[in-house]
Structure 1
Amino acid sequence: MDIDNIEGAGGAGGEKIPDVVTVGEAMALLMACQPGPLAAVRQFERATAGAELNVSVGLSRLGYRVGYVSRLGKDSLARNLLDFMAAEGIDLRHVRQDERYPTGFMLKSMALDGSDPEVEYFRRGSAASHMSRTDIPSGPYQHARLLHLTGISPALSDTCRDMVLTMAAQARGAGRLVTFDPNLRPRLWPTEAAMVETVNTLAGLADIVMPGLAEGKLLTGCAEAHGIADFYLARGARQVVVKLGPQGAYYASAEGRGVAPGAPVPPANVVDTVGAGDGFAVGVISALLEDLPLAAAAARGNAIGARVVQYRGDCEGLPTRAQLGLR
Structure 2
Amino acid sequence: MQSFDVLTFGEPLVNFVAREPGSLHDVSEFWRGIGGAEVNVAVGLARLGHRPQYISQVGDDVLGDYIARRLCEEGVNTDYVRVCKEATTGYQFKTKVAEGDPEIHYVRRNSAASKLRFHEDHKALIESATLVHMTGIPLALSTETLNFAEQFIAAAKAAKKRLTFDPNLRPSLWPSAQQMVETINSFAAMADIVLPGLAEGRTLTGLQNPEEIARFYIEQGVGAVVVKLGPDGAFFQTQNRRGYIGGYPVTQVVDTVGAGDGFAVGVISALLEDLPVADAVARGCAIGAMQVMCEGDLEGLPSRAALRAFEQEVGRMHA
TM-score by length of 1: 0.92
**Deviations, residues 151-184 of structure 1 (Å, cap 9, x unaligned):** 0011111111111122112212321100000000
Q: State the alpha-carbon separation in 2 of the partners of residues 168 and 60 from structure 1.
A: 23
**Deviations, residues 78-119 of structure 1 (Å, cap 9, x unaligned):** 11111100001111111110111000000000001x210111
**Deviations, residues 234-258 of structure 1 (Å, cap 9, x unaligned):** 1121000000010000000023100
Counterpart of 2:296? 313
1:1-327 to structure 2, matched below 5 A, reads: 15-112=1-98, 114-134=99-119, 137-266=122-251, 269-325=252-308
Tell me how far 1:140 sits from its aligned partner. 4.0
Tell me how far 1:135 sits from its aligned partner. 7.9
Say if 1:136 and 1:167, in contact at 8 Å, map to a contact too. no
Counterpart of 1:12? none
Q: State the alpha-carbon separation in 1 of the partners of residues 30 and 240 from structure 2.
A: 48
Identical-residue share of aligned pairs (%): 49
Say if 1:67 and 1:141, in contact at 8 Å, map to a contact too. no
Is 127-136 or 18-27 further displaced after alignment?
127-136
Say if 2:126 and 2:156, in contact at 8 Å, map to a contact too. no
Cα distance change, pair 173–139 in 1 and its aligned pair in 2 (3 A)? closer
**Deviations, residues 197-254 of structure 1 (Å, cap 9, x unaligned):** 1100110110000000000000011111011101111112100000001000000002
Cα RMSD, aligned residues only: 1.2
Cα distance change, pair 287–272 in 1 and its aligned pair in 2 (3 A)? same
Q: State the alpha-carbon separation in 1 of the partners of residues 262 and 120 from structure 2.
A: 26
Cα distance change, pair 122–282 in 1 and its aligned pair in 2 (3 A)? same
Q: State the alpha-carbon separation in 2 of the partners of residues 255 and 230 from structure 1.
A: 12
Output the amino acid matched with 1:88. E
Say if 1:18 and 1:141, in contact at 8 Å, map to a contact too. no
Output the amino acid matched with 2:187. L
Secondary structure, aligned partner of 1:219: helix
Say if 1:32 and 1:110, in contact at 8 Å, map to a contact too. yes
Unaligned residue ranges in structure 1 (runs of 5+): 1-14
Say if 1:250 and 1:258, in contact at 8 Å, map to a contact too. yes
Q: State the alpha-carbon separation in 2 of the partners of residues 58 and 51 from structure 1.
A: 11
Is 206-215 or 232-241 further displaced after alignment?
232-241
Say if 1:186 and 1:195, in contact at 8 Å, map to a contact too. yes
Q: State the alpha-carbon separation in 2 of the partners of residues 186 and 314 from structure 1.
A: 19
Say if 1:275 and 1:308, in contact at 8 Å, map to a contact too. yes
Q: State the alpha-carbon separation in 1 of the partners of residues 74 and 23 from structure 2.
A: 32
Secondary structure, aligned partner of 2:119: helix
Q: State the alpha-carbon separation in 2 of the partners of residues 121 and 65 from structure 1.
A: 29
Output the amino acid matched with 1:37. S
Q: State the alpha-carbon separation in 1 of the partners of residues 4 and 303 from structure 2.
A: 18
Tell me how far 1:138 sits from its aligned partner. 3.5
Counterpart of 1:4? none
Q: State the alpha-carbon separation in 2 of the partners of residues 156 and 142 from structure 1.
A: 25
Unaligned residue ranges in structure 2 (runs of 5+): 310-319
**Deviations, residues 247-272 of structure 1 (Å, cap 9, x unaligned):** 00000002310000011112xx2111
Say if 1:169 and 1:205, in contact at 8 Å, map to a contact too. no
Pairs aligned (count): 309
**Deviations, residues 119-153 of structure 1 (Å, cap 9, x unaligned):** 11110010001112238613344220111000001
Say if 1:72 and 1:103, in contact at 8 Å, map to a contact too. yes
Say if 2:123 and 2:155, in contact at 8 Å, map to a contact too. no
Output the amino acid matched with 2:302. P
